[in-house]
Structure 1
Amino acid sequence: MERVGQEYAPHEHRPLAGYAVAMGAFGALAAGLAAAAKLTGRPVPDRPALADVLLISIATHKLSRLIAKDAVASPLRAPLARYAEPAGAAELNEEVRDEGSSVRHGLGELITCPFCLAVWVATGLTGGLVLAPRLTRLVATALTATAASDFLQMAYDRAKQAAEG
């Protein structure tokens, strides 16, 4: 895999083995959710309700940012990333640790990137809608309310600054 990585990106290190591990883990997650749905006999909707799509979308945004950027979640990322600087509104910028294995580096990129995590989070929440819909909607509602609150806090701060300045 290392030789393939050198051929793929001769002037830059790309952790292809780490990406392969992450893709395999994602496949296992998706297969596990599908197997759990089949074993429990839970019906999979032909077409998800628009309200569920909106709820899961906003909850995915919030949970992905919490995991990837929130200061309080930094212990989860610490084995794979290093603190760089504050990023405003209780978020951090972090650098992926370069030392160690390609797998560690690839997973570090995954856990510090809210865009990358969104696929995982959305898959988990969508699976939750099938396996435990009431609980998933409750958790997604709390995450959605938190996301809305974040935007309101930022709007309030901007309005306050405009009024004072």
Structure 2
Amino acid sequence: MFCPNCGFEIYKEEKFCFKCGKSLQRDASHEKLNERSRSAASQPEVMYAGFFRRVIASTIDVLLWLLYCITVFLLPIHDAYNIIVGFFIAWLYYALLESSTWQGTIGKKIAGISVCDMEGKRISFWRASSRYFMHILSNITMLIGYIMPVFTEKKQTLHDIVSGCVLVKK
């Protein structure tokens, strides 16, 4: 099946086109269609979080991470354990906060952005975990994956696209 608006290939069960964002639900009644378009016009338009808001949020999160590293460095723990514990703490920090009612890390909360799925709903812990681990893709592309919000319609990074997420302004 293809989107009637942009021609993008979609699954039959999809409610929205991932490329252009158009609703794919069809009603037999013209009246229902008019009611929907009137109610959609009254709803605020989704504002996606741009590159600089993401930079602000990431900077705050990195500063918090450095504070954590300094604290751990002062503790009498073997370096190998620090690496393992640090990996799990970073993963849980991102996955738990992005899947919580906050819908983002402390940096994202301060920057006024939240993580959601393509339909604007809160993401699950597993999707948040997927998004966290997909940062690897953005890193191995010589950081081009992080610059993609400048060029994509929904201002998504590579790891957002792969995990099916968007960042929106609150």
Kindly indicate which of the two structures has a greater share of residues assigned to helix: 1
The higher-RCO structure (CA 8 Å, 6+ apart) is: 1
Does the pair score TM above 0.5?
no
